[in-house]
Amino acid sequence: MIYIKLLFTAFFWGGTFIAGKLLSQNVDPYSAAFLRFFIASLCLVFLTIKIEGHLPKLKPDTIFIIFLLGLSGIVFYNLFFFSGLKYIQANQASLIIATNPIFITLCSALFFKESLNKNKIVGLSLSVAGALIVISNGNILDILNLKLEKGELLIFGCVASWVIYSILGKKAMNDLSPIVSVCYSSIAGTILLFFPALYRGVFSNMLSYNFVEWTSLFYLGFFGTALGFSWYYAGIKQIGPMQAGVFINFVPISAIILSFLILKEPLTISLIVGAILVIAGVYLSNAADFIKKEI
């Protein structure tokens, strides 16, 4: 059952790109991010109490870390996410964001002196090459000439935001469980997004949202955030982070399939080649740790 849940989690997270693309056309990024995490926070509070038995009190020094987590992983990530999806296809965005584990590995090596073996170096190179192919639509020379489009740059902002969130998360989880950390960072992000969203008329504009937009918001808040993270951390608890992490490789695959079926986005050669390189690179960079853990 846990493997089925992890597979569905990857499917849910792949679907966030489609929901985000549908929202980005008519809902401003601040309102979309605020409403997504308002829904997510309500669900996460309920799930945290159910799992932990209560909402743990935060220590004074932990409050600042939670603030930074909310700012990086919730506010900045989602502003880049919704803004970027207004300009590029959902399948392209999913593959750029799929390089997150590679850049987290690289930053962990730089800042925490974690070892980089040959598999990780090769995996990093493959994933970066794949991302460059996707970003440039197969014209890598455009990147050398600094001919990057606005959408690609914004989605790369998601990657940078998530790397910061992940590094800060290591510090937060010295005192908090993963689900509590996600819950409080979601609440912090929601509070930080409230006034910018209010300034943009979120409460008056939301009356004009159609069924698709409300469905997308609920999907992002419940399935893409609360349930997705809950099942993912349940997987980590039962089978370990390495095995659970393998399922992340299915996220861009599900995003590409769903974007083709729902959004009618084309499957180009550069997208397929980039997807193969990104997924192979992420898998290879984690393969050594996975095998070592099994032995």
Task: Give the model confidence (pLDDT) of 13-67 as tens digits.
Answer: 899 999 999 999 899 999 999 999 999 999 999 989 988 888 888 888 889 999 9
CA distances (Å), origin 50, targets 12, 45, 54, 55, 129: 22, 9, 7, 10, 43
**Confidence at residue 147, expressed as pLDDT on a 0 to 100 scale:** 57
| 176: alpha, beta or left? (left if phi > 0; alpha if psi -120 to 50) | beta
118-129 average pLDDT score = 76
Query: How many CB atoms lie under 10 A from the CB of residue 130?
Result: 28
**Confidence at residue 28, expressed as pLDDT on a 0 to 100 scale:** 94
Q: Which residue has the higher pLDDT, 131 or 262?
A: 262
The answer to whether 65 touches 172, Cβ cutoff 8 Å, is yes
What single-letter amino acid sits at 134? V
Ordered DSSP codes for 44-95? HHHHHHHHHSS-PPPPHHHHHHHHHHIIIIIIIHHHHHHHHTTTS-HHHHHH
| pLDDT per position as a tens digit, 195-220 | 999 999 999 999 999 999 999 999 99
Total structural domains within the chain: 1
| pLDDT for 285 beyond 70 | no
**Confidence at residue 30, expressed as pLDDT on a 0 to 100 scale:** 95
Query: How many CB atoms lie under 10 A from the CB of residue 81?
Result: 27
The answer to whether 282 touches 248, Cβ cutoff 8 Å, is yes
| pLDDT per position as a tens digit, 6-15 | 888 889 989 9
| 59: alpha, beta or left? (left if phi > 0; alpha if psi -120 to 50) | beta
Report d(CA 75, CA 30) in Å as an integer. Answer: 8
Written as six digits, the tokens of 249 are 């490789």
The pLDDT-based confidence of 291 (bands split at 50, 70, 90) is very low
Mutual angle of helices 100-112 and 150-172, in 10-degree steps: 50
| pLDDT for 287 beyond 70 | no
Range of the domain at 279: 2-294
Mutual angle of helices 2-24 and 250-262, in 10-degree steps: 50
Ordered DSSP codes for 233-260? HHHHHHH-HHHHHHGGGHHHHHHHHHHH
The answer to whether 99 touches 127, Cβ cutoff 8 Å, is yes
